[in-house]
Amino acid sequence: MQLPMKLGIGGGIMFSISVFFLFIAFPKILKSQIHKASALIPGSEMRNLWADLPIPLDFRIFLFNITNAEAIAQGENPIVKEVGPFFYDEYKQKVDLVDREEDDTLEYSLKTTWKFNAAKSNGLTGEEEIVFPHLLMLGIIMGTLKEKPTAMGLVGKAINSIFQKPESIFIKAKVKDILFDGLPIDCTVTDFAGSAVCTILKEQAADLVNDGENKYLFSFFGGKNGTIARQRLRVYRGMKKRTDVGIVTEFDGKPSQTIWAGDDCNNFNGTDSTIFHAYLYEDEDLVSFAPDLCRSMGIVFEKKSKVKGIKTNRYSGNLGDTSTDPLLSCFCETLDTCLKKGLFDLSKCVGAPIIASLPHMYLTHEMYQKNVTGLHPNKDEHEIFVEFEPMTGTPVSARKRLQFNIFIQPIDKLKLMKNFPYALLPLLWVEEGILLEGDFIKQLKSVFTVLKVVAAFKYIFLFGGLGMCGAAGYLQYRKRVSNTMEVTKMPENGSKPSTRDGDDEKKEWPLNVQTLQGAAVPANLD
């Protein structure tokens, strides 16, 4: 086989491999394998990571110290100073998993555990004392004012009984007691008002921790720490339809909620926020259901980004505006009482008059910000964002931030708050986040190393095949040109060939095509 043919065949094979396998078949195979790897298949690595992430999430808590408690009681607006962060390692485990083969779903319960991390708390220990509203006391007062204002007289008597005639709703307490260890609640009282309120608390306050007979401890997170949530979640495993992985189908045994005013707000939209499908697109809003907010929330594409050398897509989100967005208006009890931009009423969700916002009331209507001094909202420190590696759907960096607030106002029937101002009082804010490091980053980068190698081979085969085919064509062309030139070559002595008919027409000198030599002279001419 001659060289041009060998080059042509080799080049054709290389070109075909690059086009049909590396350009067409390999991307499809890769996409199929990534989708398969992201499904919650029993026993798979993804399932194990999803159920029990071996590394803790970062959980930081910032509290607002009240610096003018006495002045607030006389009608001045609150002045606050942020204290923190108090850093905790947060472990989230999905327990009691049950697979439902009939509809490709998976049920689980969520267990959350927080452990204080002194090394990352910048010298803070939790022993620091701050001035802070007694959350249970203020919650009882504001909850009653909202739901049953005619009972304020009874509640006033119960406050004096249970909390032993407090001089203020503000207390000086250790941070660790406010957050986890708990403040004492004495329900050994025997008077009618105190007993009635304590009975309601024991039935409805899930965050109370028993501390003896009719004695309890109340804190913001203590009642949830190390416990399994009562409500179970049911999500798609993504084995039948890859893009459905993690999408919530049931919460607390129900296909939708019933606490809000419309289906748009009661329906479960999106995933459980701990997993998303692979191959995310820029124009795709990512939606997840947040049980602690009793609602679904979306984040939207913001920009291209890069984290630890990995190309990512950055998404950001906020709480929206229930007063102007028709899709969110069903979160309002009435249109007249809708909270304005950036606030979300958690009363129906958590059973307490807590108002959610972004930290420092970032992206919140200015009417709420102007009544509090000491807030400094900014994008970098206070927004919600996630940075995904889009091909695998892996969150490389994420920060979920939320602030808890409570309204205060003057209450004529309650001496403790008779002269209070109208204000939204910030309590604390939390940040739950993750930044992949170490082995996780190495594994993710190894995927792209393989893709770079494949891409290199793809173009090597493509251009190598084209080059070989081009070289084969060129050599064949040269060969034909050379043959033609030899065929038309004149004799060296310049003599003319004889003609058969004696005319003047010039005839080509006969050549031996096999040897490219002049023809032998006939014998009779010798």
Indicate whether 274 belongs to any domain.
yes
Indicate whether 365 belongs to any domain.
yes
pLDDT of residue 496: 52
How big is the chain by its Cα radius of gyration, in Å? 38
Given a contact cutoff of 8 angstroms between Cβ atoms, the answer to whether 124 and 84 are in contact is: yes
Given a contact cutoff of 8 angstroms between Cβ atoms, the answer to whether 233 and 108 are in contact is: yes
Q: How many C-beta neighbours within 10 Å does residue 194 have?
A: 21
Q: What is the number of structural domains in the chain?
A: 1
Given a contact cutoff of 8 angstroms between Cβ atoms, the answer to whether 392 and 34 are in contact is: yes
Cα distance between residue 44 and residue 37, in whole Å: 8
pLDDT of residue 278: 83
- Residue 373 has, within 13 A of its CA and on its CB side, a CA count of 8
Cα distance between residue 364 and residue 361, in whole Å: 5
Indicate whether 381 belongs to any domain.
yes
Cα distance between residue 195 and residue 161, in whole Å: 9
Mode of pairing for the β-strands spanning 233-236 and 105-116: antiparallel
Indicate whether 449 belongs to any domain.
no
Of 79, 128, 186, the closest CA to residue 421 belongs to 79
Of 80, 173, 92, 191, the closest CA to residue 135 belongs to 173
H-helix or E-strand spanning residue 106: strand 105-116
Provide the 3-class DSSP secondary structure of residue 458.
Answer: helix
Task: Show pLDDT as tens, one digit a residue, over the chain (526 residues).
Answer: 556 666 556 666 666 666 656 566 656 666 666 767 778 889 888 889 899 988 899 999 999 999 999 999 999 999 999 999 999 999 999 999 999 999 999 999 999 999 999 999 999 999 999 999 999 999 999 989 988 888 888 889 999 999 989 999 999 999 999 999 999 998 898 889 888 888 888 877 777 888 888 889 999 999 899 999 999 999 999 988 888 999 999 999 999 999 998 888 999 999 998 888 888 877 788 999 999 999 999 999 999 998 888 889 999 999 999 999 988 999 988 878 899 999 999 999 988 899 999 999 999 999 999 999 999 999 999 999 999 988 888 888 999 999 999 999 999 889 999 999 999 999 999 999 998 877 767 666 666 566 566 666 566 666 666 666 666 666 666 666 766 766 655 555 545 545 444 454 444 444 444 444 444 444 444 4
Q: How many C-beta neighbours within 10 Å does residue 140 have?
A: 22
Cα distance between residue 191 and residue 185, in whole Å: 15
- Tokens (6 digits) for 414: 């309650």
Given a contact cutoff of 8 angstroms between Cβ atoms, the answer to whether 227 and 91 are in contact is: no
Indicate whether 56 belongs to any domain.
yes
Range of the domain at 296: 39-134+169-182+219-436
Task: Name the pTM for this structure.
Answer: 0.81
pLDDT of residue 288: 93
pLDDT of residue 129: 96
Of 398, 317, 326, the closest CA to residue 362 belongs to 317
**DSSP state at residue 330:** G
pLDDT of residue 334: 81
Residue 157 dihedral angles phi and psi, to the nearest 5°:
-65, -40
- Count Cβ neighbours within 10 Å for each residue of 253-270 and write b for 16 or more, e otherwise: eeeebeebeeeebbebeb
Mode of pairing for the β-strands spanning 344-345 and 384-389: unpaired
**DSSP state at residue 76:** P
Indicate whether 422 belongs to any domain.
yes
Indicate whether 453 belongs to any domain.
no
Indicate whether 143 belongs to any domain.
no
